[in-house]
Amino acid sequence: MFRSHILKYRVGIISMIVVMTCMIICSVLFDVPESGETTSAVDSENTDAYVDASANTDNGDKIVGKSSGFTAVVANIKTEPDAGLNSDGDQTDGQLMSQPQQTDTDCEDEPVVVSDGEFTEQVVGEVLSQYEVMMIGEDDEEITLDINEVEFLPIYNLGTRDDSVAVIQSKLMDLGFMDPAEPTDYYGSITMDAVKRFQRQNDLKQDGIMGQETIAMILDPGAKSYLLKKGMEGDDVELIQTRLYELGYLEKKSLITGSFGSETESAVRALQQANGLTADGLIGSATTELLYYGDVKANLLSFGDKNDIILECQNKLKDLGYMTTSPDGLYGGDTLAAVKLFQSRNDLVVDGYLGPTTREKLMSSSAIPNGLVIGDEGDTVKRVQEILIKLGYLAKGSATGYFGDVTDKAVKSFQKNNGLYADGNVGRKTMAVLTGGNGKTSSGTSSGSVETGSANGGSVKSLLKVALSKLGCPYKYGAKGPDKFDCSGFVYWCLNQVGVKQSYITSYQWRTIGKYKKITSYSSLKAGDIIVVTGHVGIIGEDGTVIDASSSRQQIMHRKLSSWWSNRFICGWRIF
């Protein structure tokens, strides 16, 4: 039980200006009464009082909190009526004590904490560790505040639900601290992690709890956007390091530590210099976009290179059924197509580079071999069709890049003529005979039919059924299923479950995928379409709904389309 306490500070004109800005923003966010309304014992002409507190002591008493670095606060902590004690141990009526005892302490530099008699630093610390008070007054003016007459604002802790949380999430997304999704009223672990990153960048205590100071800084029009730099630590640093390693700028896997040190800074500078950005070693929005979405230049084996490492990789790609030409050590068009297809089949980032992660997977026993089947499309399919045309199994003009019924029949005919199992799938054995130069030509004539169609093996009904079956599954950045997803991973998994052979691509890459019918008007979207908005992607459901992996709600959601989607709309893609 705390006795009646009074906390006493002073404020200067600089603090007043800073806090007034915060007050204006908070008054909009939380609908705090305007100056002149009865919310405080303080004269409204000179001050507005905002207290960040929402909990009680065990007996229900409201408790004031710390000053967040601002001075000029005099606040009262009061017990229940008829339960208080004065400094002599006598019962009080629970009202404010009379004037606080004067002390000789200089308020200009250190807060003076008094009641009817001074109390210990430990008691003050226990109180101040939980809540925050922000007060302003005219320069050098001493202010007294009755905590029970102040408008209270909530502290945001894990699990908090409040409409104002959506405003905070929206700002965190705009600033780059949180993955874009339709904002919600839920303050979950992903929102808390975003707040921690914001606090890290702004030299605040990284507890993920949004008190008045954190809120004010997030909502400030001049709030800093997401930035990673030397000296920072976190899961996001580890993700950046992993990508730098995959692109060949971070030399060793052991340097993926989650700590942004000198090696990481040097790797970032090299990446930036190679890609025409200012080589400052900082990870801002432009560098982040380059790493994950842009046409990044890697420090790796790539198109046009020639050496023994490439030859070794080509031999492995050939053995797994991805190469359609003979290995020669030159990183040409066929090698590029083979690498991309291998990456797609093995759930890797499809960038066409023979980076360390791709090479490790390629040389491992868990590498998934190629197997072209009906519904596949791409450069490798086109090269197979060109060979089949040359051997007389397909008509000229059939090299469309789409593996449909016509190609399936041609492959079966080729397999039968060459002593292979005629299942129509282009696996390792079939690919080896096709590309080995010894395949037998067709004994008859081709049907003359030209391949048409696209990779739409399922239907709208089946896609929505699969998508809805995952409602409630948790959101996890970079996850591709089957039980955890990010927004791109969710779309990728659902499409593949219904027979649409789609490789994993980011929400940014969905803007220009090109292989499906593009929808440019928001009002033209239909059930089963893929909707692409700024930083996010989802599946259109029935009756004006959307199914998506939501970072703000931390799970797979099914909800009505809102203005958030229409305002951020980029395009849609019709799969069926």
26 and 98 both lie in a single domain: yes
DSSP assignment of 189-227: HHHHHHHHHHHHHTT---S--B-HHHHHHHHSTTPPPP-
89 and 124 both lie in a single domain: yes
Q: Measured between alpha carbons, how far is 497 from 427 in angstroms, rounded to an integer?
A: 21
Q: Measured between alpha carbons, how far is 95 from 41 in angstroms, rounded to an integer?
A: 13
CB 463 within 8 A of CB 539: yes
Answer yes or no: is 18 within a domain. yes
What is residue 458's predicted lDDT score, i.e. its pLDDT?
Answer: 65
Instruction: Indicate the helix (H) or strand (E) that contains 382.
Output: helix 379-390
- The last residue of a domain, from among 331, 362, 393: 362
38 and 121 both lie in a single domain: yes
Q: Measured between alpha carbons, how far is 351 from 299 in angstroms, rounded to an integer?
A: 13
What is residue 541's predicted lDDT score, i.e. its pLDDT?
Answer: 96
By three-state DSSP, how is residue 574 classified? strand
39 and 97 both lie in a single domain: yes
CB 475 within 8 A of CB 556: yes
Answer yes or no: is 394 within a domain. no
Q: Could you report the per-residue pLDDT of 109-133, keeping only the tens digit for each?
A: 333 333 333 333 443 344 434 434 3
Range of the domain at 526: 460-574
What is residue 328's predicted lDDT score, i.e. its pLDDT?
Answer: 94
CATH code where residue 333 lies: 1.10.101.10
Would you say the C-alpha torsion 22, 25, 29, 35 has a positive or negative sign?
Answer: positive
60 and 99 both lie in a single domain: yes
- The rounded radius of gyration (Å) of the Cα atoms in the chain is 32
Query: Alpha carbon of 259 to those of 91, 165, 196, 231, 301: distances in Å?
Result: 56, 30, 16, 7, 27
Low-confidence ranges of the chain (pLDDT < 50): 1-153
Taking the mean position of all CA atoms in its chain, how far away is CA 61?
Answer: 40
Helix then strand count (H, E) for the chain reads: 17, 16
Q: Measured between alpha carbons, how far is 74 from 8 in angstroms, rounded to an integer?
A: 4
DSSP collapsed to 3 states, 289-337: HHHHCCCCCCCCECCCCECHHHHHHHHHHHHCCCCCCCCCCECCHHHHH
172 and 255 both lie in a single domain: no
12 and 149 both lie in a single domain: yes
Q: Could you report the per-residue pLDDT of 287-341, keeping only the tens digit for each?
A: 988 887 657 888 887 788 898 989 999 999 999 989 888 899 999 999 999 998 8
Answer yes or no: is 397 within a domain. no
Nearest 5°: CA angle at 131, between 126 and 132?
125
Burial of 449 (0-12, 13-18, 19+ CB in 10 A): middle
CB 182 within 8 A of CB 561: no
Query: Alpha carbon of 188 to those of 12, 194, 243, 320: distances in Å?
Result: 37, 10, 27, 44
CB 301 within 8 A of CB 310: yes
Tally of structural domains, the chain: 5
Would you say the C-alpha torsion 498, 502, 503, 508 has a positive or negative sign?
Answer: negative
Answer yes or no: is 396 within a domain. no
484 and 570 both lie in a single domain: yes
Q: Measured between alpha carbons, how far is 506 from 393 in angstroms, rounded to an integer?
A: 37
Q: What residue type is assigned to position 379 of the chain?
A: D
What is residue 178's predicted lDDT score, i.e. its pLDDT?
Answer: 93
264 and 126 both lie in a single domain: no
Residue in 324, 458, 427, 307 with CA at minimum distance from that of residue 379: 324
149 and 12 both lie in a single domain: yes
Checking phi first, is residue 38 left (phi over 0); if not, alpha (psi -120 to 50) or beta? beta
Q: What residue type is assigned to position 155 of the chain?
A: I
Answer yes or no: is 176 within a domain. yes
207 and 321 both lie in a single domain: no
255: DSSP letter: G
Query: Alpha carbon of 264 to those of 228, 282, 285, 475: distances in Å?
Result: 11, 10, 17, 28
Answer yes or no: is 224 within a domain. no
Q: Measured between alpha carbons, how far is 72 from 42 in angstroms, rounded to an integer?
A: 13
In this structure, the dihedral spanned by the alpha carbons of residues 476, 479, 485 and 486, taken in order and rounded to 10 degrees, is 70
What is residue 159's predicted lDDT score, i.e. its pLDDT?
Answer: 84
By three-state DSSP, how is residue 470 classified? coil
480 and 520 both lie in a single domain: yes
CATH code where residue 493 lies: 3.90.1720.10
Answer yes or no: is 428 within a domain. no
Residue in 6, 275, 222 with CA at minimum distance from that of residue 114: 6
DSSP collapsed to 3 states, 390-438: HCCCCCCCCCCCECCHHHHHHHHHHHHHCCCCCCCCECHHHHHHHHCCC
Checking phi first, is residue 326 left (phi over 0); if not, alpha (psi -120 to 50) or beta? beta
Answer yes or no: is 435 within a domain. no
Beta-bridged to residue 49, according to DSSP, are 135
CATH code where residue 252 lies: 1.10.101
Which residues 6+ apart lie within 8 Å of 454 measured at CB? 377, 402, 515, 516
